[in-house]
Protein backbone atom coordinates (compact mmCIF):
# COMPACT_ATOMS: atom_id res chain seq x y z
CA UNK A 1 0.00 0.00 0.00
CA UNK A 2 1.42 3.36 -0.95
CA UNK A 3 1.43 6.34 1.41
CA UNK A 4 -1.29 8.00 -0.68
CA UNK A 5 -3.52 4.92 -0.47
CA UNK A 6 -2.96 4.70 3.28
CA UNK A 7 -3.95 8.35 3.74
CA UNK A 8 -7.01 7.91 1.54
CA UNK A 9 -8.04 4.82 3.49
CA UNK A 10 -7.58 6.60 6.82
CA UNK A 11 -9.57 9.62 5.59
CA UNK A 12 -12.41 7.39 4.42
CA UNK A 13 -12.42 5.57 7.76
CA UNK A 14 -12.47 8.84 9.72
CA UNK A 15 -15.31 10.19 7.60
CA UNK A 16 -17.38 7.04 8.17
CA UNK A 17 -16.72 7.22 11.90
CA UNK A 18 -17.80 10.87 12.01
CA UNK A 19 -21.02 10.05 10.11
CA UNK A 20 -21.76 7.29 12.59
CA UNK A 21 -21.54 9.74 15.50
CA UNK A 22 -23.60 12.41 13.73
CA UNK A 23 -26.37 10.00 12.75
CA UNK A 24 -26.45 8.57 16.27
CA UNK A 25 -27.05 12.07 17.63
CA UNK A 26 -29.61 12.90 14.92
CA UNK A 27 -31.66 9.79 15.68
CA UNK A 28 -33.27 11.39 18.72
CA UNK A 29 -34.68 14.11 16.46
CA UNK A 30 -35.67 11.63 13.74
CA UNK A 31 -37.61 9.59 16.32
CA UNK A 32 -40.08 12.45 16.65
CA UNK A 33 -41.11 11.98 13.01
CA UNK A 34 -40.94 8.18 13.21
CA UNK A 35 -43.36 8.23 16.14
CA UNK A 36 -46.15 9.45 13.89
CA UNK A 37 -45.12 7.52 10.77
CA UNK A 38 -44.66 4.11 12.43
CA UNK A 39 -47.36 4.64 15.09
CA UNK A 40 -44.98 3.55 17.85
CA UNK A 41 -44.44 5.38 21.15
CA UNK A 42 -41.17 7.21 21.81
CA UNK A 43 -39.95 4.74 24.46
CA UNK A 44 -40.29 1.77 22.07
CA UNK A 45 -38.33 3.55 19.33
CA UNK A 46 -35.59 4.48 21.81
CA UNK A 47 -35.55 0.82 22.91
CA UNK A 48 -34.93 -0.19 19.28
CA UNK A 49 -32.13 2.37 19.06
CA UNK A 50 -30.58 1.04 22.27
CA UNK A 51 -30.63 -2.52 20.97
CA UNK A 52 -29.13 -1.43 17.65
CA UNK A 53 -26.36 0.53 19.39
CA UNK A 54 -25.58 -2.43 21.61
CA UNK A 55 -25.32 -4.73 18.60
CA UNK A 56 -23.04 -2.29 16.76
CA UNK A 57 -20.81 -2.03 19.83
CA UNK A 58 -20.64 -5.78 20.37
CA UNK A 59 -20.10 -6.68 16.72
CA UNK A 60 -17.52 -4.01 15.82
CA UNK A 61 -14.43 -5.61 17.45
CA UNK A 62 -14.95 -9.08 15.94
CA UNK A 63 -15.75 -7.56 12.55
CA UNK A 64 -12.58 -5.47 12.54
CA UNK A 65 -10.21 -8.42 13.13
CA UNK A 66 -10.42 -9.87 9.60
CA UNK A 67 -10.03 -6.42 8.08
CA UNK A 68 -6.95 -5.73 10.19
CA UNK A 69 -5.38 -9.03 9.22
CA UNK A 70 -6.11 -8.49 5.54
CA UNK A 71 -4.53 -5.02 5.61
CA UNK A 72 -1.15 -6.24 6.92
CA UNK A 73 1.40 -7.90 4.66
CA UNK A 74 1.76 -11.69 4.97
CA UNK A 75 4.16 -12.79 7.66
CA UNK A 76 3.71 -9.54 9.57
CA UNK A 77 0.64 -10.36 11.65
CA UNK A 78 1.88 -9.34 15.08
CA UNK A 79 0.15 -10.53 18.22
CA UNK A 80 -1.11 -9.20 21.51
CA UNK A 81 2.31 -9.89 23.06
CA UNK A 82 4.33 -8.60 20.09
CA UNK A 83 2.43 -5.83 18.26
CA UNK A 84 3.41 -4.74 14.77
CA UNK A 85 5.54 -1.61 15.02
CA UNK A 86 5.80 -0.68 11.36
CA UNK A 87 4.39 2.55 10.02
CA UNK A 88 3.56 3.79 6.52
CA UNK A 89 6.60 6.06 6.47
CA UNK A 90 9.91 4.90 7.94
CA UNK A 91 10.76 6.47 11.28
CA UNK A 92 14.36 7.16 10.25
CA UNK A 93 16.06 7.29 6.88
CA UNK A 94 18.02 4.25 5.73
CA UNK A 95 21.74 4.18 6.38
CA UNK A 96 23.83 5.53 3.50
CA UNK A 97 25.54 2.93 1.33
CA UNK A 98 29.15 3.22 0.21
CB 49 within 8 A of CB 31: yes
Gap between the Cα atoms of 82 and 66, Å rounded: 18
Domain boundaries, the chain: 3-70
Q: CA Rg, the chain, in Å? A: 21
End-to-end CA, the chain:
29
Parts of the chain with a pLDDT under 50 = 87
Instruction: Please give the pLDDT value at position 28.
Output: 78
pLDDT at 14: 92
Q: What is the pLDDT of residues 61-72, one digit of tens each?
A: 887 777 666 665
pLDDT one-digit tens code per residue, 28-40: 788 888 898 999 9
Q: What are phi and psi of 80, to 5 degrees?
A: -65, -35
pLDDT computed for residue 41 by the predictor: 92
pTM for this one?
Answer: 0.47
Amino acid sequence: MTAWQARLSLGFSCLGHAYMHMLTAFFFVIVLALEVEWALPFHELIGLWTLGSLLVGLCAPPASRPAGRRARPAGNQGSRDRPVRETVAPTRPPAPTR
